[in-house]
Amino acid sequence: MTNQDPGTSRRPDDQNPWALNLVVRLEKDVVVYEQDLLVAAAQATLALLYDDRATTSWQPAIDRWRDGRIRKLCRRARGAKWHATDELDHVEVTVATATVRAFVPTAVASQPPALAKLQMAGTDLPARETTYVVPTPNALEILIAPDLTMSSAKAAVQVAHAAQLATARLDPAVREQWFNATRPVFVRPATDLEWRTLQGPDVVVVHDAGFTEVLPGSRTCVARFRSP
């Protein structure tokens, strides 16, 4: 049950890290549920990485980001600060109550001002009372560690990373078929039993670097594609 991020081994001592920013829209007095944020973060990350521009104008930035540690940052914005990011290269995904933008990666030390001023800490969203449905065939299922406490923003980054790693392992033809269809993504907490036993060649595991909230090496998520 291990997964090595391909970027981690190539440039472990990178002194100029790059990051992909995820920004969730949190307008005043508008409720956004955590479950919706997590799915939207995964969908937005994949939408950016498999956008046509990812092999053309965006490719140099994405390749540079992949060549280092694969960092993601989750920020929040509303009103004028949200609209200040309109002109930056991004994709936008809305899932129920959550709207998330994924931005083309940039150097952490020289973020565009419209992103750099956005706050990251303290993003905790309410959970919707819900019954988790059984994933449909050919769906991406992401399970979150039951023994870790993470903010909504931290969980969004981990789920997005799990989605990236899982889809990267798919046969390109299968991935294209999935991506061009409805791209179903299901996210839920794992049960204790699942967390202890879920393994196999079709399962990817996210190990966090430990920069924030959790200890280095913590397993935060697992992901797998449900067979058709």
What is the tens place of the pLDDT at every residue in 21-42?
A: 999 999 999 999 999 999 999 9
pLDDT at 51: 94
Structure tokens at 22: 């995820």
Q: What is the pTM of this model?
A: 0.90
Is the pLDDT reported for residue 20 higher than 50?
yes
In which region does residue 200 sit, left (phi positive, over 0), alpha (psi from -120 to 50) or beta (all else)? left
Percent of the chain with pLDDT over 90: 69
Is the pLDDT reported for residue 121 higher than 80?
no
Question: Which value, in Å, is the radius of gyration of the alpha carbons in the chain?
Answer: 17
Query: How far is Cα 159 from Cα 98, in angstroms, rounded to an integer?
Result: 15
Is the pLDDT reported for residue 97 higher than 80?
yes
As a whole number, mean pLDDT of residues 78-84 equals 97
Give the least confident one: 30-34, 146-150, 197-201.
197-201
As a whole number, mean pLDDT of residues 84-98 equals 97
The residue to which tokens 């309109």 are assigned: 86
Give the least confident one: 10-14, 55-59, 163-167, 210-214.
10-14
Is the pLDDT reported for residue 201 higher than 90?
no
Of residues 111, 105, 69, the one with CA closest to residue 90 = 105
Is the pLDDT reported for residue 7 higher than 90?
no
Which residues are CB-contacts of 23 (< 8 A; sequence separation ≥ 6)?
74, 75, 76, 77, 82, 85, 100, 101, 103, 115, 118
As a whole number, mean pLDDT of residues 106-133 equals 87
pLDDT at 25: 97
Give the least confident one: 17-31, 76-90, 194-208.
194-208
As a whole number, mean pLDDT of residues 135-149 equals 88
* Inter-residue contact 206 to 219 (CB < 8 Å): yes
| CATH code of the region 17-120+134-225 | 3.40.1490.10
Which residues are CB-contacts of 129 (< 8 A; sequence separation ≥ 6)?
none
Q: What mean pLDDT, rounded, does the chain reach?
A: 88
pLDDT at 9: 41
Structure tokens at 63: 């390749």
